[in-house]
């Protein structure tokens, strides 16, 4: 199966039009996958044409990077690995830490875990209010000059932070949540990225699984699943938000596709410099996601989705309040 390539903004960094977010294999959505099964899935993604793999020291912590290091070693030269820094001791529960010495430490340790001599794309995981953005970008600039990192990225940053960072060291990509049911980036973020020539890497393009149609008001999540604390996933809100999933299902039937494929095709149709990174732990879902790159939505389909979103709305915040404080600054 071939996947078209896309360039992330003006940077020249070329990746498959669809990447894979590997977090859920180790962290965040219930128990971690069995290691050999995860390695097999990652290698199958590569065999099917995916060349863009996303991880972070905080996923596990550390386990996801180790997993990718082992899984991707046989074809390291053909792929792009993105990882992230920015949390104390690599633990997202311990608060932020983007001090220059910490960034350098993360880079060295991530290189070892990833079994590589260069990180293709190194993101700041969340903007750190205690460290000036110029210092963060300057530190990554030094790592780029030293040949340890190729490209600099930001995650969930606001316009002001993006502009500050970009002046110091050109930003290759911004990674933030974006999907049919989370449209906030359209207001200020996407126009800024377009102006500066920065690529966009949406995570949760399937609405953390909701837009696939596989989750309804009766779904029960594993106790360790992050979605248990997400307001949008309360039983009552899932019930309200079902109408949007039903609309996507209707458009899917018309296009001989699945709801997940429609949700991904919609993201891909927004801009040619957008590369979504859906995550999965299942081979059939991986194949389904990859199929989305061949789904061509008509102008009418896109209009119907957008009008449905305006009319139906979405109930519930995408993060609980304590996590919402970390984004968009």
Beta bridge partners of 152: 122, 171
Helix, strand or coil, per DSSP, at residue 221: coil
Is 59 considered catalytic here?
Answer: yes
Distances (CA, A) of 177 to 5, 162, 216, 308: 21, 16, 21, 20
Helix, strand or coil, per DSSP, at residue 296: coil
Of the candidates 298, 206, 284, the residue with the CA atom closest to the CA atom of residue 254? 298
- Show contacts of 98-106: CB within 8 Å, 24+ apart: 98/124, 98/128, 98/131, 98/136, 99/131, 100/131, 100/135, 100/136, 100/138, 100/139, 103/136, 103/139, 103/140, 103/143, 104/139, 104/143, 106/57
Query: Cis omega before residue 152 (within 30°)?
Result: no
CA distance 87 to 204: 21
Of the candidates 278, 300, 305, 308, the residue with the CA atom closest to the CA atom of residue 291? 278
59, 123, 178, 319: which is the annotated catalytic residue? 59
Catalytic residues: 59
């Amino acid at each position: 199966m071939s996947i078209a390539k896309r360039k992330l903004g003006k940077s020249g960094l070329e990746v498959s039009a669809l990447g894979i977010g590997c977090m859920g294999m180790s962290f965040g959505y219930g128990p971690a996958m069995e290691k050999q099964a995860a390695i097999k899935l990652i290698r199958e993604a590569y065999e099917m044409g995916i060349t863009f793999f996303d991880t972070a020291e905080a996923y596990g912590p550390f386990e996801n990077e180790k997993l990718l290091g082992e899984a991707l070693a046989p074809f390291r030269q053909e792929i792009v690995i993105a990882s992230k820094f920015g949390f104390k001791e690599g633990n997202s529960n311990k608060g932020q830490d983007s001090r220059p010495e910490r960034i350098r430490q993360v880079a060295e340790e991530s290189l070892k875990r990833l079994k590589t001599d260069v990180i293709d794309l190194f993101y700041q995981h969340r903007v750190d209010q205690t460290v000036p953005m110029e210092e963060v970008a300057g530190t990554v600039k030094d790592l780029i000059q030293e040949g340890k990192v190729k490209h600099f990225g930001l995650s969930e940053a606001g316009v002001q932070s993006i502009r500050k960072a970009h002046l110091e060291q050109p930003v290759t990509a911004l990674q933030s949540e974006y999907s049919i049911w989370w449209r906030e980036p359209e207001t200020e973020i996407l126009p800024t990225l377009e102006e500066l020539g920065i690529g966009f890497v949406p995570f949760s393009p399937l609405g953390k699984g909701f837009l696939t149609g596989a989750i309804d008001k009766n779904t029960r999540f594993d106790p360790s699943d992050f979605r248990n604390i997400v307001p949008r996933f309360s039983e009552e809100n899932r019930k309200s938000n079902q109408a949007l999933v039903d609309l996507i299902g209707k458009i899917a039937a018309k296009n001989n596709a699945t709801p997940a494929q429609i949700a991904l095709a919609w993201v891909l149709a927004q801009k040619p410099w957008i590369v979504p990174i859906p995550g999965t732990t299942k081979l059939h879902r991986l194949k389904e996601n990859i199929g989305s790159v061949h789904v061509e939505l008509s102008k009418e389909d896109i209009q119907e989705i957008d009008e449905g979103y305006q009319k139906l709305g979405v109930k519930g915040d995408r993060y609980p309040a304590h996590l919402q404080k970390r984004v968009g600054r």
